Chains A and B, each alone.
Chain A
Amino acid sequence: QSVLTQPPSASGTPGQRVTISCSGSSSNIGNNAVSWYLQLPGAAPKLLIYSNTQRPSGVPDRFSGSKSGTSASLAISGLQSEDETDYYCAAWDDSLNGLVFGGGTKLTVL
């Protein structure tokens, strides 16, 4: 049981815009920044979004993040076949004094 709640799956067609939600509480998302990670099959996770909305260099601007209250979202516009993989949200939790993760969302490009 993950501390942050993500839908287990999401899907879209090429060129479409999809969003993935991440729900938490006041001790994590409500009080701290959210980061998002992408994990290709057989590879280590990679930072995709940090500080709710910021993209590391090299991440396409098709990827965007937002946060409101105790929830956050990752949006992917202009969906491409290579976007088909797993996505995780994370946030610092003040009660646990550590990073907590969502259970992950498997994105399928139809």
Chain B
Amino acid sequence: EVQLVQSGAEVKKPGESLQISCKASGYSFSTYFIAWVRQMPGKGLQWIGIIYPSDSDTRYSPSFQGQVTISADKSISTAFLQWSGLGSSDSAIYYCARLYARKLDYWGQGTLVTVSS
């Protein structure tokens, strides 16, 4: 059974760094893209970017380029989303999902990130 299990909710202060994770199981992690999607409170879905774990090929939406870093560790079948300096506008739920044939067929449960002073 394909599963994506994300790390727990985070509460951070503005300017702090953060890394959240997405652990995959039930399939060959290296050979499928992992996507990250943001959902701000009460809003729709926004594409952040994708990574191909086999070679760490990473692509970002122009809206998120330079704002976040996507990475993956094949040895532990885990993808990561990282911020070096959070802002209040980063408060949102972040989902990882498996990208296959340009569709998101399996999703993680989401990680709530709250940035507040």
Contacts and interface: CB of A to CB of B under 8 A. Distances in A.
Interface stretch (B8-16, B75-83, B101-109): B101-109
A100 interface: yes
Main secondary structure of the interface of B (DSSP, over half): strand
A85 to B, nearest CB: 14
Nearest to A44: B107
Contacts, number: 62
B59 A104 contact: no
A50 B37 CA distance: 18
A41 B47 CA distance: 20
Given A90-B104, A92-B102, A2 B44 contact: yes
Interface of B: 35, 37, 44-47, 49-50, 59, 61-62, 95, 97, 99, 101-110
Interface of A: 2, 32-33, 35, 37, 44-47, 50-51, 56, 88, 90-92, 96-104
